[in-house]
A and B are shown apart, each in its own frame.
Chain A
Amino acid sequence: AQTVTQSQPEMSVQEAETVTLSCTYDTSESDYYLFWYKQPPSRQMILVIRQEAYKQQNATENRFSVNFQKAAKSFSLKISDSQLGDAAMYFCAYSWSGAGSYQLTFGKGTKLSVIP
């Protein structure tokens, strides 16, 4: 079974600084997708960024970028120029393309605080 591990229950960052959230996963599949979701106190789950396993290039969305290391099964999220609105729970998630069912497996989450 696929598992997703986020080893940092809580992180903090100064406003305008950069922070990296860690995620590792376990799978025997070669074709899959990885995601980072953000959940602010409003509880709305927001898709931050997506990475296809077959792509070597790391995904980037504005201030958010990932470091995808397929061999190490590592998928970290870097947030640059942190803003107060970035404070939230961040969940790493895995989806196996071969299942055909789009199921997501989530990590336990990292709570990010942004210090003004």
Chain B
Amino acid sequence: SAVISQKPSRDICQRGTSLTIQCQVDSQVTMMFWYRQQPGQSLTLIATANQGSEATYESGFVIDKFPISRPNLTFSTLTVSNMSPEDSSIYLCSVGTGVYEQYFGPGTRLTVT
């Protein structure tokens, strides 16, 4: 398994602003993922972030709204841009290990007012 930390753990932001969420892993991993969990809902994959290449976004998510960086094998950031109340969610990062399972960070609870 891997130990994953996220910053911030929660934030309250005003509409129109942007927030960058950091994800740090205690070991080198090839694949990192970003998920959104809207209130009372399941997890939806936003994008896959591989080191050294552009992130791969899922249908319904675009780079202009959710830019992702992956500068090395232990770190990634997700930015939620030009926020609206509909962006209020929990954002989780996860890492893929060699047996197709993923381990998750503690999540960032974002509230947009």
Residues of chain A touching chain B, judged by Cβ–Cβ distance below 8 Å, are 33, 35, 37, 42-47, 50, 91, 95, 97, 101-104, 106-109
Contact = CB atoms under 8 A, between A and B. Distances in A.
Given A33-B101, A35-B101, A95-B100, A109 B48 contact: no
A91 B42 contact: yes
Contacts of A109: 42
Given A103-B45, A106-B42, A109-B42, A95 B101 contact: yes
Interface residues of B, number: 23
Nearest to B45: A103
22 contacts: A33-B100, A35-B101, A37-B104, A42-B106, A43-B37, A43-B106, A43-B107, A44-B106, A45-B94, A45-B107, A46-B104, A47-B1, A47-B102, A47-B103, A102-B31, A102-B33, A102-B100, A102-B102, A103-B33, A104-B45, A104-B94, A104-B102
Contacts of B102: 47, 102, 104
Given A43-B37, A91-B42, A106-B43, 14 more contacts: A33-B100, A35-B101, A43-B90, A43-B106, A44-B106, A45-B43, A45-B104, A47-B103, A97-B100, A102-B31, A102-B96, A103-B45, A104-B45, A104-B102
B42 A108 contact: yes
Closest 9 CB pairs of A and B: A45-B104, A102-B96, A43-B107, A106-B42, A95-B100, A33-B100, A108-B42, A106-B43, A44-B106
Contacts, number: 55
Residue in A35, A44, A45, A91 with the greatest tally of chain B CB atoms within 10 Å? A45
Nearest to A99: B100
Nearest to B48: A101
B15 interface: no
Given A102-B31, A108-B41, A47 B101 contact: yes
